[in-house]
C-alpha cells in the first residue's frame, strides 16, 4: 500500500502535538484529584487480586496521547513469583478482530473491495451450505457486524482443553463447505469467530499477502506496536508472556494452561499485546478522530467503523464495523473484549473524553468489563476537573498522612483510609464497586462521616500509642486494627 500525502502530512503534524501532550501529562498526573483517583484504583485492585485469588492483572489509563497511569498486580507467573507489569504480554483474543477490521477497511479505501461484496467473491472456496435459500448473501459488512448468519465457530473443538486444538487455515477451509448457515443474512446478531476468520482470509486474498505479513506491514509497524503480534509469541514463554491459568476448580486450585497457538483462527482471536501497546492503539484513534486526515486509516473511515451498523433484535447489542459500541449514562464507549483459555482482556474508549482503559488478566474467569466500567467512573470526573481547572484541587494536609493505611476488623473484612480532596476517606475492601466514605476532621484524632446531603454523621476515632503511631480506627464502638 502506498503512503499517501495525507499520511505523510499527519506524521509531520504529529511531532509537535505529542510534545504538547507530554508537557501536560505530568501536570495531569500530579493533580491531586487525578492522583487520588489512581490511588483508589491501586488500593482497590490490590485487594481484589488478593481476595479474589486472581493470578495477575495489568491495567492502564490513556488520556489522549499519553498512557498516564499503568500498573501490574499479582503475578505473570505465579509459580516463579514473577510480577505482572504494564509490559507483560497477554493473549488479547477477540481484540484481534479490531486489527482485522482495520485491515479490511484499508483495502476498502484502496478500492480493492466493497462492504457489500459477497464473501464468496473473494474466497471461491467459501461454499458453506445455504440453509436459507432466497435470502441475502453473506457479505463483508455482515461479517464485520456479526450479522451474516454464520455459525459462531469453525467446525473444530478448539475451545476444549486441555490441548485446545486450534485448526490450521487449511483445516478451516476444508471444513467450511460441510458447515451450514445458522440464520438468514442480516436477520440476527450472532457473534462469530468464523466470520472474522473469513475476514482475515479476505485480507490475504485481496492484498496478495499472507494475513500476518499484511497486518505487520500496514498496521502494527506504522503504529509502532512492537509488542503486538498476530500470534502468541512463543519466544517470550516463561518471560514477558504471562502464563494463562484456568478458573478455580472445586478444590479452589487453578491449572496453568499449556502454551497454544490459535493458528487458522488468528484473525479472530490470535493476537498478543501489552497494556502499553493497546494504549498506543487507543491514542492513535483519538489522534485520528481529532486531527482528521489519514494515518494508517482515513479518519472518516475510523468514524464509520465506530458508528452503529447493526442492532440486535432485543436492542441489547450494538455493533460497528469490528467495534463493539455501547452507551452508558450519556457516554458512548467503543472497543472490544477478549476471552481465550487462560486470558481475559478489555479495551474500552470514550472518544468524547479521550480516555481509554486497558485491562488484561491471566485469570480465566475474571470479568474485565466490570473493572473497566468502575475505572472509568473513578477517573473520568477527576481528569475532567483537572483539564477544566488546571492547578486546582486541594493538596493533602500532611497532618492527615499518619491515618492513611489499611485497617482490619477480624471476620469483618478490611478498610483502607486515604486522602481525597484534602479530606480523609474510607473504602471497604474487597468490593466490586469501590465507594468512598468521606470524613470531616473535628480535631484530636476525631472525624465524622460526611453524609450525601452534606450533614455530619457518626464519628470515626483513631487511637494512637505513646509514640503517636495510629493503632486502631473506631466506628460505632467497634474497632479495626491498623495493619499497614
DSSP 154-209: -SS-TT-TTT--PPPHHHHHHHHTT-B-SS-TTTS----HHHHHHHHHHHHHHHTS
Specify which residues 464 forms β-bridges with.
470
Q: With a cut of 90, say whether residue 118 has pLDDT above it.
A: yes
Q: With a cut of 70, say whether residue 4 has pLDDT above it.
A: no
Do the beta carbons of residue 438 and residue 454 sit within 8 Å? no
In the chain, what is the greatest distance between 2 CA atoms, to the nearest angstrom?
A: 86
pLDDT of residue 10: 40
Q: With a cut of 90, say whether residue 18 has pLDDT above it.
A: no
Q: With a cut of 80, say whether residue 7 has pLDDT above it.
A: no
pLDDT of residue 413: 85
Q: With a cut of 50, say whether residue 297 has pLDDT above it.
A: yes
In this prediction, residues 215-240 reach a mean pLDDT of: 97
pLDDT of residue 15: 43
In the structure grid, which three cell numbers stand for residue 259, read together? 502454551
In this prediction, residues 3-32 reach a mean pLDDT of: 54
In this prediction, residues 35-58 reach a mean pLDDT of: 97
Cβ burial of 79 (10 Å; 0-12, 13-18, 19+) is exposed
Q: With a cut of 70, say whether residue 17 has pLDDT above it.
A: no
What percent of the chain is predicted at pLDDT more than 70?
95
In this prediction, residues 92-117 reach a mean pLDDT of: 98
CATH of 398-482, one of 2.40.128.50, 3.10.20.740, 1.10.3720.10, 2.30.42.10: 2.40.128.50
Residue pLDDT, tens place only, 403-448:
999 999 988 889 999 999 899 999 999 999 999 999 999 989 999 9
pLDDT of residue 136: 84
Q: With a cut of 70, say whether residue 11 has pLDDT above it.
A: no
- CA 218/CA 9 separation, integer angstroms: 17
Q: How confident is the model at residue 383 (pLDDT cuts 50, 70, 90)?
A: very high
pLDDT of residue 151: 97
In this prediction, residues 20-41 reach a mean pLDDT of: 81
Comparing 358 with 3, the larger pLDDT belongs to 358
Contacts of 160 (CB under 8 A, 6+ apart): none
For 432, the 3-state DSSP assignment is: coil
pLDDT of residue 112: 98
For domain 5-30+53-97+208-365, say whether CATH 3.40.710.10 is its number.
yes
Provide the terminal-to-terminal Cα distance of the chain, rounded to the nearest Å. 57
Residue 457 CA: distances (Å) to CA of 117, 408, 452, 453: 65, 22, 10, 10
The one-character DSSP state at 346 is: E
Residue pLDDT, tens place only, 127-180:
999 988 878 899 999 999 999 999 999 999 999 999 999 999 999 999 999 999
The one-character DSSP state at 235 is: G
Mean pLDDT, rounded, of the chain: 93
pLDDT of residue 23: 41
pLDDT of residue 24: 65
Q: With a cut of 60, say whether residue 99 has pLDDT above it.
A: yes
Q: With a cut of 80, say whether residue 31 has pLDDT above it.
A: yes
The domain limits of the chain are: 5-30+53-97+208-365, 398-482
pLDDT of residue 410: 86
- CA 23/CA 230 separation, integer angstroms: 34
Amino acid at each position: 500500500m502506498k503512503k499517501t500525502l495525507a499520511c505523510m502530512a499527519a506524521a509531520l503534524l504529529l511531532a509537535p502535538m505529542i510534545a504538547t501532550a507530554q508537557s501536560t501529562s505530568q501536570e495531569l498526573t500530579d493533580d491531586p484529584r487525578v492522583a487520588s483517583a489512581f490511588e483508589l484504583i491501586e488500593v482497590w485492585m490490590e485487594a481484589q487480586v488478593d481476595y479474589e485469588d486472581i493470578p495477575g492483572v495489568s491495567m492502564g489509563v490513556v488520556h489522549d496521547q499519553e498512557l498516564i497511569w499503568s500498573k501490574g498486580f499479582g503475578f505473570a507467573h505465579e509459580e516463579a513469583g514473577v510480577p505482572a507489569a504494564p509490559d507483560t504480554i497477554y493473549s488479547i483474543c477477540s481484540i484481534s478482530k479490531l486489527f482485522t477490521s482495520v485491515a479490511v477497511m484499508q483495502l476498502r479505501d484502496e478500492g480493492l473491495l466493497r462492504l457489500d461484496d459477497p464473501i464468496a467473491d473473494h474466497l471461491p472456496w467459501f461454499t458453506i451450505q445455504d440453509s436459507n435459500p432466497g435470502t441475502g448473501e453473506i457479505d463483508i459488512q455482515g461479517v464485520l457486524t456479526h450479522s451474516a448468519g454464520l455459525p459462531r465457530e469453525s467446525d473444530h473443538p478448539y475451545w476444549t482443553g486441555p490441548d485446545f486444538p486450534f485448526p490450521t487455515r487449511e483445516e478451516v477451509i476444508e471444513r467450511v463447505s460441510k458447515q451450514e448457515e445458522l440464520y438468514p443474512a442480516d436477520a440476527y446478531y450472532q457473534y462469530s469467530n468464523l466470520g472474522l476468520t473469513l475476514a482475515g482470509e479476505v485480507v490475504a486474498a485481496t492484498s496478495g499477502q499472507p494475513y500476518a505479513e499484511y497486518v505487520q506491514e500496514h498496521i502494527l509497524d506504522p503504529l509502532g506496536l512492537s509488542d503486538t503480534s498476530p500470534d502468541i509469541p512463543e519466544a517470550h514463554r516463561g518471560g514477558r508472556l504471562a502464563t494463562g491459568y484456568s478458573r478455580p476448580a472445586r478444590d479452589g486450585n487453578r491449572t496453568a494452561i499449556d502454551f497454544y497457538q490459535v493458528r487458522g483462527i488468528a484473525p479472530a482471536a490470535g493476537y498478543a499485546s501489552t497494556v502499553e501497546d493497546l494504549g498506543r492503539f487507543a491514542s492513535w484513534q483519538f489522534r485520528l478522530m481529532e486531527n482528521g486526515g489519514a494515518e494508517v486509516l482515513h479518519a472518516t473511515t475510523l468514524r464509520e467503523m465506530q458508528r452503529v451498523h447493526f442492532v440486535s433484535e432485543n436492542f441489547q447489542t450494538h455493533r460497528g464495523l469490528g467495534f463493539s459500541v455501547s452507551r452508558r449514562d450519556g457516554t458512548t464507549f467503543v472497543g472490544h473484549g477478549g476471552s481465550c483459555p487462560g486470558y481475559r482482556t478489555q479495551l474500552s474508549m470514550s472518544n468524547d473524553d479521550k480516555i481509554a482503559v486497558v485491562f488484561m488478566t491471566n485469570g480465566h474467569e475474571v470479568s474485565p468489563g466490570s473493572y473497566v466500567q468502575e475505572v472509568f467512573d473513578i477517573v473520568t470526573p477527576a481528569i475532567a476537573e483537572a483539564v477544566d481547572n488546571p492547578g486546582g484541587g486541594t493538596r493533602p494536609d500532611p497532618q492527615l498522612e499518619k491515618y492513611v493505611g489499611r485497617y482490619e476488623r477480624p471476620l469483618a473484612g478490611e478498610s483502607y483510609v486515604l486522602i481525597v480532596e484534602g479530606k480523609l476517606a474510607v473504602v471497604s475492601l474487597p468490593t466490586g464497586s469501590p465507594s468512598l466514605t468521606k470524613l470531616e476532621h473535628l480535631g484530636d484524632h476525631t472525624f465524622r462521616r460526611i453524609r450525601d446531603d452534606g450533614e455530619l454523621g457518626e464519628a470515626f476515632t483513631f487511637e494512637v500509642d505513646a509514640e503517636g503511631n495510629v493503632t486502631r480506627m473506631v466506628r460505632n464502638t467497634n474497632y479495626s486494627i491498623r495493619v499497614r
